[in-house]
Structure 1
Amino acid sequence: MRHAHTAEQIRSAEAALMATLPAGALMQRAAAGLTVACAKLLGQVYGARLLVLAGSGNNGGDALFAGARLARRGAQVTAVLLSEHVHPEALLAFRRAGGRVVEPSALLPEQASDRPPVPGVRDGADVDLVIDGIVGIGGQPGLREPAVCILEQLEAPVVAVDVPSGIGVDTGELSGPHVEADLTVTFGTNKVGLFVQPAAAAAGSVELVDIGLSAWLGAPAVEVLEPADVRELLPWPGSTAHKYSRGVLGIAAGSPQYTGAGLLVTSGAVATGFAGMVRYDGASEDLVRSSHPEAVIGPGQVQAWVVGSGIGDGQGELVGRILGEGLPTVVDADGLRYLPLRCDAATVLTPHAGELARMLGIRREGVEARMLWAATAAARRWQSVVLLKGPRTVIAAPDGRVRVNSTGVAWLATAGAGDVLAGVIGALLAAGAECFDAASVGAWLHGIAGELASRAGDNEGTGPISATALVASIPSAVRSVSL
């Protein structure tokens, strides 16, 4: 499992670790890891042209120390000092290694500066790599001039030190100008903003460098599941299992207007395979029966519910009745319009940004800009697990736990994919998975199935998928982590 921690947690851990180390040792560990990552990205260090953007914090020191190491390996390294208070030891080491220091005005457009340009620096094509050490975890979101203007002049790949400068480190928000990195080299642990959209998109690829912080970090603020975690959390059937002990999932979905919704929820649940039986009690029964003869049609005893997908208007009584049974329940799509003030049963809510905006009484743009805040606020408000769908789906529990899903492809933004996801999560609930695990594991499997369907045997790229093709890939997604 990958973990992310808050800036406060990281600062506390760094202080504890530094108390056990010689002065400057922690920064040298970070600089060494940054140097290796930059060298790998460059391929050939000798003769490479690098530009270091150094601010006043430790990130600036890391960047300058790494620049010094690369200069000693034959790179031509220029540093732009964006503060009068850069790390003094790092700057001295950089100068001694042969690094060149220039004023910010050297990179500003001619009309913005009366100083002559520095040859080979102003033209972005003459720089092979930019190291962003402007601000780190202690900085406020958004960048100021002249950093913004300088970044606009550069076209070379950017390596961010610890975090892309200007992002919301603890929130994943983008509230102003920021660095768009190709690679982020982060130290000790991941930062929340590297996992959560929209800031995560600014990080590019993320490489974690171990500097010895783990013993002091404490519980993570955000988790990301990996295959081994999914394997451990899935409710695999035991040797004595039978269809009833494996759980029965009830589905109340679909309507004359949305005839396919019930079928897709059922298809997702059946394809996942963890529920021993799927009982369909919704519209378009004949369509479901003809496609899934293994599904039982009509009311009966169940261990979990999926309700809401495509049920349409005027269904508050249905949603209230199902929630009133006190069984683990996935509430999706139209069902979210009929939520009580508080969900007392074990409940998973699966809104997209527009639905969650309506639930919270804010604009959709407000949810998309603050996904972590929106998901956690809704989880507390309804005392439910909230799965906020998006490019990096956020799963928030009312007790404060948060996971971010890392699987999937953009092609999953297609009609019916959310119905399939509701069925996957419902099957896991029926099989006994806890709500937070069912939601996060379900999102992971759903994303892997999307990746498999999108490749469709072609390892060279991805292509469009339908919800039906997604369903067909779910068994392969499960097998990819099978015991």
Structure 2
Amino acid sequence: MTFTLQFTGETQIARPRLTRPAADIHKYMRGHAVVLSGPALQTGASRLCALAALGVGAGLVTILGDRRALDEHAAHVTAIMLKEKDTMLSAIDDRVRAIAVGPGAGANDELRLLVLKLLALKKPTLLDADALTVFSDQNTHLFNAVSDNIVMTPHLGEFARLFPDIAITDPVSAAVNAARRSGSVILLKGPNSVIAAPTGRFAINTHSSPWLATAGSGDVLSGLVCGLLAQGLPAFDAAAIAAWLHGDIGRRAGAGLTADRMAEYIPLVLQGCIQEG
């Protein structure tokens, strides 16, 4: 299964092209994604992220967390693997192609150290929510650790905390400046999300819906990005395609959409992107 980023004009993201997987493909070829769990009683966000990563095509998804958190996950998921997190992060082996950390993780010193340890693995990584907020007063530590295979997905509030001196009156300029400064791909979330790379390249997603303004929606977007990274997409393409797919979920679901139902729409969204050949 191959996704191709497409545009209307120079910068507006269009429906991505999706080709069917080869007949002899297996789950490991589709990529293994790891999502870091939040603590007990805060596991929902990471679970939404993991479900979206699996739905968008990652061949395997593992939630990594402590025992109490995994007990909660076990009551909700079946197709997602669960593994205990140790200090060596031994579950993140050579077969893991992408990592997501931040949703519901808890903004504390332990998370800050964990993020830096994960970035040292040099794997494509999605940073969102608490994984960004925890560096609000130490942003240079984060920027020194990232590379261009890292995607950050801040909303306007998280962006302002992480980049306090970058004005957000012009979202395109803000995202481009943040990407250059951080050295990562920035997906600045909003009604028209902006995706920017450290090179200055940017794209705008206008294919969205106000029904996406619901708790947990951003966690699903994070999972879409991570699932695409696990399939080998470059960070910019993964972020741009995920933004369009996320918007299409909102448009298809419409009124009454809640985040825990969003994964149900992913097959319909993908079916609409399939092109033969």
Q: Deviations over 1:151-210 (max 9, x none)?
A: xxxxxxxxxxxxxxxxxxxxxxxxxxxxxxxxxxxxxxxxxxxxxxxxxxxxxxxxxxxx
1:477 to 245, 265, 269: 269
- What residue is the counterpart of 1:292 in the other structure? 77
**Alignment pair present for 1:433 and 2:218:** no
Q: Secondary structure at the match of 2:104?
A: coil
**Alignment pair present for 1:447 and 2:242:** no
- The one-letter amino acid paired with 1:464 is G
Unaligned runs of 5+ in 2: 1-6, 84-90
**Alignment pair present for 1:224 and 2:12:** yes
8 Å contact from structure 2 (residues 148, 185) kept in 1:
no
CA distance in 1, matches of 2:148, 2:180: 14
Alpha-carbon deviation of 1:236? 5.1
1:334 to 102, 111, 130: 130
CA distance in 2, matches of 1:480, 1:332: 28
2:101 to 304, 307, 319: 307
C-alpha change, 1:236 and 1:252, in structure 2 (3 Å) is farther
TM-score, length-scaled by structure 2: 0.85
CA distance in 2, matches of 1:477, 1:288: 26
CA distance in 2, matches of 1:482, 1:261: 29
CA distance in 2, matches of 1:431, 1:388: 22
CA distance in 2, matches of 1:437, 1:401: 11
Superposed counterparts of 1:144-163, under 5 Å: none
8 Å contact from structure 2 (residues 207, 248) kept in 1:
yes
8 Å contact from structure 2 (residues 147, 183) kept in 1:
yes
Structure 1 runs of 4+ with >4 Å offset: none
- The one-letter amino acid paired with 1:432 is G
- What residue is the counterpart of 2:164 in the other structure? 361
Whose RCO is larger (CA < 8 A, sep 6+)? 2
- What residue is the counterpart of 2:32 in the other structure? 248
C-alpha RMSD over aligned residues: 1.7
8 Å contact from structure 1 (residues 350, 387) kept in 2:
yes
Stretch deviating more after TM superposition (285-294 or 375-384): 285-294
Q: Deviations over 1:120-160 (max 9, x none)?
A: xxxxxxxxxxxxxxxxxxxxxxxxxxxxxxxxxxxxxxxxx
**Identical-pair percentage:** 37
CA distance in 2, matches of 1:390, 1:286: 34
- The one-letter amino acid paired with 1:281 is L
CA distance in 2, matches of 1:322, 1:335: 11
- What residue is the counterpart of 1:348 in the other structure? 151
CA distance in 2, matches of 1:286, 1:247: 25
CA distance in 2, matches of 1:361, 1:348: 19
- What residue is the counterpart of 2:86 in the other structure? none
C-alpha change, 1:255 and 1:345, in structure 2 (3 Å) is farther
1:2 to 5, 8, 12: 8
- The one-letter amino acid paired with 1:226 is A
- The one-letter amino acid paired with 2:97 is Q
CA distance in 2, matches of 1:443, 1:287: 29
**Alignment pair present for 1:278 and 2:61:** yes
C-alpha change, 1:383 and 1:235, in structure 2 (3 Å) is farther
- What residue is the counterpart of 2:87 in the other structure? none
Unaligned runs of 5+ in 1: 4-219, 455-462
CA distance in 2, matches of 1:262, 1:297: 12
8 Å contact from structure 1 (residues 375, 387) kept in 2:
yes
C-alpha change, 1:436 and 1:411, in structure 2 (3 Å) is same
- What residue is the counterpart of 2:120 in the other structure? 324
Superposed counterparts of 1:116-131, under 5 Å: none
8 Å contact from structure 1 (residues 235, 431) kept in 2:
no
Superposed counterparts of 1:72-87, under 5 Å: none
C-alpha change, 1:375 and 1:236, in structure 2 (3 Å) is farther
8 Å contact from structure 1 (residues 385, 397) kept in 2:
yes
Alpha-carbon deviation of 1:348? 0.3
